[in-house]
Amino acid sequence: MIPKFDEVMLPLLIYLKDGQEYSLSEAYEALALEFKLTESELKELLPSGQQTIFKNRVGWARSYLKKAGLIDSTKRGYFKINERGLTLLSQYTEKELKSKFTRFEDFIRFQSKEKANTENDSSIQINAEEIYNQTPEESLEYAYQKLHTELSKELLDTIKSSSPEFFEKLVIDLLISMGYGGSRKDAGKAIGKSGDGGIDGIINEDKLGLDVIYIQAKRWNNSVPIKEIRDFTGALAYKKAKKGIFITTSSFPKSVFDFVSQIEYKIILIDGERLTDLMIEYNVGLSTVNAYLIKTIDSDYFEEK
């Protein structure tokens, strides 16, 4: 019998207890042996027919372990147990963990946070009781928003674990997908090459090159200090430019937004959340698993003339 995703969480954490980093495919193969799944069970697909049920559940188990603060992403596509995860495994026997696993402090904190956020942001998660009170269209919308949120978080973790060179490539691909920069070749020469006075690169605003936009791209974890934005503004002034984009994997404090709203230069701030939203919107670094068409009755067709 294929285990539920929450039943996969503890075995996955135990699999990682040696402290080594593993890929999702490696974990999938090990857990398939652990649960003694048959070939037919491993081949069972989700209703979409695009992914096996067990692989999907292993992926969700990993996501929740990360959210509970027990494992960390390392390089792209890899993860490992952290000190908090090792401490948890050392505090209880496996038998005790099986009964307590979804009730330990960190996981409760995560679940409580998700529930609290739901009251202010319907895109995060709703509980099962609420789902039954919704129309099918509403349930589908909430499910889509939930998947979007999870994908965005997973995407940002992947970006942060990539190299600076890969991040530069990602920025190029995104801006070109949004209609900037002309050709991929021209944009590749511009981004990440100048390193001149707070400017990481230059890209055409349009395909004809009628105007240029100066770029600053920072793969950071901490909030961007206002000094970085002031330096970027100074670099724009030195170049006699009026437009700039500051992209980061982290966030901007309110003081930064206040600052850019008061200056004569047009600076667009793209934080980690907006970066991943744009990547999802313009399909950068993503592939489509499935698409669902929602249809309704065409009342005009059935109206008798």
pLDDT tens-digit readout, 41-98:
999 988 767 788 999 899 889 988 988 889 998 887 899 999 999 999 998 888 888 8
Least confident piece of the model among 100-104, 118-122, 288-292: 118-122
Flag whether pLDDT at 107 surpasses 70: no
Average pLDDT over the chain reads 82
List the domains of the chain with CATH numbers: 5-120 (1.10.10), 164-281 (3.40.1350.10)
Tell me, what's the pLDDT at 210?
75
Average pLDDT on 250-266 reads 95
Tens digits of per-residue pLDDT, 186-206? 665 555 554 555 567 788 887
Q: Which residues pair with 216 in a beta bridge?
A: 246
**Residues 154-175, buried b or exposed e (16+ Cβ, 10 A)?**
bbbbbbbbbeeeebbebbbbbb
Confidence of residue 185 (pLDDT cuts 50, 70, 90): low
Give Cα separations from 87 to 32, 58, 277 (angstroms): 26, 22, 35
Encoded tokens for 207? 């395909």
